[in-house]
Copies of this chain bind each other. A is one copy, B any other.
Amino acid sequence: METEECYDPFQPNCPSRLILSRIGDRWTVLVILALRHEVLRFSELRTKIGSPAPKVLSQTLQALVRDGLVSRQAYAEVPPRVEYRLTDLGRTLLEPIDAVRRWAAVHTGDVLDARERADELVASGAGGADR
């Protein structure tokens, strides 16, 4: 039932592009990670992920709810209370996200090293007769 083999990420309309841009979003992954083990309220989320502006968090949340990855439950109380939790679908996203996290844990050092080396080269060589 998977149509995995006919996926072509080079097509602009490819679904993987959609997911990729989602993951690349500044706050999406943080929200999902924050909800990994707990149900959180709006301001709790804000505190946990360090989101500066409520607008941004609100946007992120709405997009996640729209895509069925997070569910929103509001209580008719005073003061109002709203809880966000991962849906089953949202929980499945934890796997690929963690694959990325694991890669970062293992290889970021290499990337940083490579970057330093490249920057040194630029500073000395390509800087062009700067001494």
Chain A interface residues toward B at CB < 8 A: 2-4, 7, 9-10, 12, 15-16, 18-21, 23-26, 29-30, 33-34, 48-50, 65-69, 89, 92-93, 95-96, 99-108, 110-115, 117-119
In the complex, which of the residues B69, B99, B102, B117 contacts A100, with contact meaning CB atoms closer than 8 Å? B99
Given that A24-B23, A68-B113, A114-B68 are contacting pairs, would A100 and B96 also be in contact in the complex, using a CB cutoff of 8 Å? yes
Given that A67-B114, A108-B18, A118-B65 are contacting pairs, would A7 and B101 also be in contact in the complex, using a CB cutoff of 8 Å? yes
Contact A7 B100 (CB under 8 A): no
A109 CA to B25 CA, complexed, in Å: 20
Minimum CB distance partner of A21 in chain B: B24
Q: Which residues from chain B contact A104 at a C-beta distance below 8 Å? A: 7, 15-16, 18-20
